[in-house]
Amino acid sequence: MRIHVVDPPAYTPPYDRALCAALAGAGAKVTLCSGPFSYGDVAAADGYQVDQCFGGMLRGRPGSKLRSASRLAAELPEMLRYRRTARRADVVHFQWLPLPQLGASLLPTDRPLVITAHDVVPREPRPGQIAGLRRAYARADAVVVHSEDGSERLQRELGVAAARCHVIPHGSFTHLAEIQDRAPLPPELAEVEGPVVLCFGLMRPYKGLDVAIEAWRGIENAELWIVGMPRMDTAPLKAAAPSNVRFVERFVEDREIPALFERVDLALLAYREIDHSGVCFTALAFGVPMLLSDVGGFPEIAAAGAAEIVPSGDAPALRSSLQRLLADAPARQRLAAGAAAARELYDWDRVAALHLELYSKLIGGRSR
C-alpha cells in the first residue's frame, strides 16, 4: 500500500514522522510530503521517504507578514503540483491544510482522501477558515480525530457525518525518551531544588497560562516552569507571576526535552480548549504525572489513570489540586504508574494498525 502523509506547513513534524515510521514498520510504502520546519531539526526518516514538495516559495520569518503573503502566493501552484504527485499514492492523508479557505477546492479527488482534524475547530480562526474546513471535510472520504469528544464536535459544529468520523488515538512520543544525544538542563533551571511543575510547549492564549499563574499564588517551596516559544504577548503573564515562576521563552529542541521531563514532578496543562495535545503525549512517554483541565480528550487520559482533571478556567480548584499533589508523593507515583500502563493504549504500532485498517476499507470501497 502506497501512502502519502501530507503536512504542507509542517505544523506537527513529531506526529507526522512518528506516524510515518509506524506505518512503514507495518509494511506500507510511505512518503511524507511536507515543507521545511522553521524552528529546528526534525527526526530522521525511519523507513519512509520525505518529499519536501511544499514551502519552496516561503519567504520571511515565521509569523511575519512576508511569510503570510508568500504562503498565500504558494498555495495555488503547490497544491496543483501536489495533485499530480498524489497519483503515485493509493491513499492521501492530509494532516494539515495551510489555507483551507483556498486549499479545500484543490484537494486530490481521484483516490481515497483522509484528513486528520488535529484542531477540531480552529481556536483563533481567520476569515473563511471554518467554512473552508467544512468544504475540505465534505470532500474527504474519512476524517480522523483523536478523541470521542472531538468526533462529537466534528459532527455537531462542522457537520461531518458520523460515518466519516474515525476516532484513532494520538500516539505517545516514546522516541523522545530514547534520545541518546541529550542536552542538559539550561543552567538557570539546573540550579533549582525542590518540586517543579511544568507548563510546556508553544505559549498561546488558549493554553490557560494566566489561569496557571493565578492558581500558583500562595504555593511555596516549589517552582512553576513555563517553557516554550511565545506566540502571544507574555509581558502580562510575567508581570502577574509570583517569584517562584520561571519562564524559558524559546523553541526547545528534541534533545533538550528528556532533561526537562525527567526533572519535573508534575506536568500541568490548564487549557481552555483542545482536542488533544502533543505535550500530553510527551509527558505520557516519560511517565510524568499530569494535571489536566476537563476539555477535549483530556478526560480520556484521566480515565486511563495517567492524570487528574480540574475544571477549565477554575484557578481556586487548580490551586487546591496543585497543593494536594505536590504534598502527596504516593499520589504522583500512582499517576506515573498509570501513565506507564496507558502507553499501550497510545502505542504507535496500534495507531498505525488502525490507520491501515481504515485505508484498506477506503481502497476497497473505491474499487467496488
DSSP per-residue letters across 69-133: HHHHHHHHHHHHHHHHHGGG-SEEEES--S-HHHHGGGS--SS-EEEE-SSSS-SSPPTTHHHHH
Q: Which residues of the chain have pLDDT under 50?
A: none
CATH code, 2-171+347-362:
3.40.50.2000
C-alpha cell at 263: 526533572
The predicted model scores a pTM of 0.92
Report which DSSP code applies to 27.
T
Q: Which residue type occupies 217?
A: R
* Residues counted in the chain: 368
Report which DSSP code applies to 298.
H
Q: How far apart are the first and last CA of the chain?
A: 17
Domains in the chain: boundaries: 2-171+347-362, 177-342
3-state DSSP of 156-216: HHHCCCHHHEEECCCCCCHHHHCCCCCCCCCHHHHCCCCCEEEEECCECHHHCHHHHHHHH
- Parallel/antiparallel/unpaired status of strands 290-293 and 29-34: unpaired
d(CA 62, CA 209): 23
Assess whether the region 2-171+347-362 and the region 177-342 belong to the same CATH fold.
Answer: yes
**pLDDT for the residue 58:** 62
94 forms beta bridges with 6, 115
d(CA 244, CA 358): 48
Query: For the domain 177-342, what is the CATH superfamily, name and number?
Result: Glycogen Phosphorylase B; (3.40.50.2000)
**pLDDT for the residue 67:** 63
